[in-house]
């Protein structure tokens, strides 16, 4: 029985040494991986660039080839007006819109109202906010004097932003 105990002790010692060496190798590899990481942590702007890289207003992509910026500065609050204008442009021979483009135009015009006071970078920063925070921010904008945004438009603006940001 004495030789059997000795064998078990030797086996467990060798196994312990092997596992310790394996663990030391994993720690060394982890330290190397951590050392290779970027020295500067990601900034909020880096997160914004990742979260909303394609947030641009549709009219900047397509509509400004024919229309000036002043053309978009008018009041686009009336839903029927937007519908009529987009339907009219969709019938033009040189500007046919797909259904996806039509939805993007509507979303872009909603967000364009925000761009009257906020630049595109400020709007893109909303991408790193939670939906509840976005809703709160839109609510704050509604409460500001002269905002011309009614409380029932909150969900539509949020939906338009999410469509433009690609969520």
Mean pLDDT on 116-136: 81
Counting other chains too, the contacts that 70-79 makes at CB distance below 8 Å and 24 or more residues apart are 72/109, 72/112, 73/116, 75/148, 76/109, 76/112, 76/113, 77/113, 77/148
Between 18 and 1, residue with greater pLDDT:
18
Query: Hey, where are the domains in the chain?
Result: 2-37, 47-165
- Tell me what pLDDT residue 148 has: 76
The predicted model gives 128-147 an average pLDDT of 84
Q: Which residue has the higher pLDDT, 38 or 11?
A: 11
- The span from the CA of 166 to the CA of 18, in Å, is 51
pLDDT value of position 81: 67
Render pLDDT for 61-108 as a digit per residue (tens, 0 to 9): 566 666 665 555 555 445 566 667 777 777 777 766 777 777 777 777
The model carries a pTM of 0.54
> For residue 5, what are the CA distances in angstroms to 13, 17, 137?
12, 18, 71
Report which of 155, 152, 76 is spatially closest to residue 108, judged by C-alpha positions: 76
């Amino acid at each position: 029985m004495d030789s059997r105990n000795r064998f078990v002790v030797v086996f467990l010692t060798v196994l312990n040494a092997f596992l310790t060496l394996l663990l030391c190798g994993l720690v060394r590899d982890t330290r190397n991986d951590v050392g290779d990481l970027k020295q500067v942590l990601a900034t909020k702007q880096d997160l914004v660039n990742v979260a909303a890289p394609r947030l641009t207003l549709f009219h900047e992509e397509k509509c400004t080839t024919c229309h000036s910026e002043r053309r978009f500065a008018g009041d686009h609050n009336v839903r029927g007006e937007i519908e009529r204008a987009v339907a009219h442009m969709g019938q033009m021979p040189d500007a046919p819109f797909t259904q996806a483009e039509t939805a993007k135009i509507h979303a872009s015009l909603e967000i364009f109202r925000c761009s009257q006071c906020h630049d595109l970078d400020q709007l893109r920063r909303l991408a790193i906010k939670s939906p509840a925070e976005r809703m709160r921010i839109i609510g704050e904008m509604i409460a500001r004097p002269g905002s011309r945004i009614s409380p029932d438009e909150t969900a539509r603006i949020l939906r338009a932003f999410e469509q433009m940001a690609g969520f």
